[in-house]
Amino acid sequence: MGNKGEILLRKAVAMSVVASLALGLLVAGCGGGGGGESGSIDKASFVEQANEICKRVSDAMQKELKAIANSQTGSNQTQNDLVLFNKVVIPGFQAELEEIRALGTPPGSQKQLNAFFAAQQKMIDMTEANPSSFSEPSGEKQFEVVEVAGTKYGISECPIAAVGSS
């Protein structure tokens, strides 16, 4: 079976590149979001802390995925993948999003960050509703949308830090 968790993360990272390209369309069309700009954090600090959160969450997810994948038996790969998504991937992405939102919004960044947050929440919702969609073109595209939105703002480690980066 190998490192199933690492394989899933590698696939997720690859899918994020494609999703990123679609983000520009989302940014142009995304308008709403929660509260106003807090101004309690500057952009450089926000980006640094967001990348640290994503790296930490990615590392934790990778460890959990490996542990679960190594303990799984049986040949029902689809069922095994569902367990991985429901126990690790979806909760990891949700925790990542909540922690980044809690940082506050740097002045002048509300529109860009709302696009990033909305894209990540949509990815989470899609995956939660249908975990197998994550490996389908629509799921891959949404993952890439999140990555593009983050990268445009300077967040390079979200939604998943590069596998094996330390």
10-22 residue pLDDT tens: 444 433 332 332 2
| Residue 76 forms part of a structural domain | yes
Instruction: Say how many C-beta atoms besides its own lie within 10 A of residue 52's C-beta.
Output: 13
pTM, 2 dp = 0.70
Q: With a cut of 50, say whether residue 26 has pLDDT above it.
A: no
Per the domain annotation, does 73 fall within a domain? yes
What tokens were used for 38? 């807090």
Domain assignment present for residue 93? The answer is yes
Least confident window among 27-36, 71-80, 84-93: 27-36
DSSP secondary structure of 47-93 = HHHHHHHHHHHHHHHHHHHHHHHHH--SS-HHHHHHHHIIIIIHHHH
In the chain, the amino acid numbered 87 is K
Identify the weakest region by mean pLDDT among 14-28, 44-58, 87-101, 122-136.
14-28
Q: Is residue 161 part of a domain?
A: no
Any domain includes 75: yes
Within-domain flag for 163: no
Q: Domains in the chain: how many in total?
A: 1
| Contact (Cβ atoms closer than 8 angstroms) between residue 132 and residue 78 | yes
The residue-averaged pLDDT of 73-95 equals 81
Mean residue pLDDT across the chain:
75
Q: What is the pLDDT of residues 56-73, one digit of tens each?
A: 999 999 999 888 878 877
In a domain, 118, yes or no: yes
Write out the two tokens for 72: 């799984």
**100, 102, 106, 109 alpha-carbon torsion, rounded to 10°:** 60
Give the domain extent around 73.
4-30+40-153
Angle at 30 between CA 26 and CA 33, to 5 degrees: 135
Q: Tell whether 162 is covered by a domain.
A: no
68 neighbors 83 (Cβ within 8 angstroms): yes
Residue 94 in contact with residue 124, Cβ under 8 Å? yes
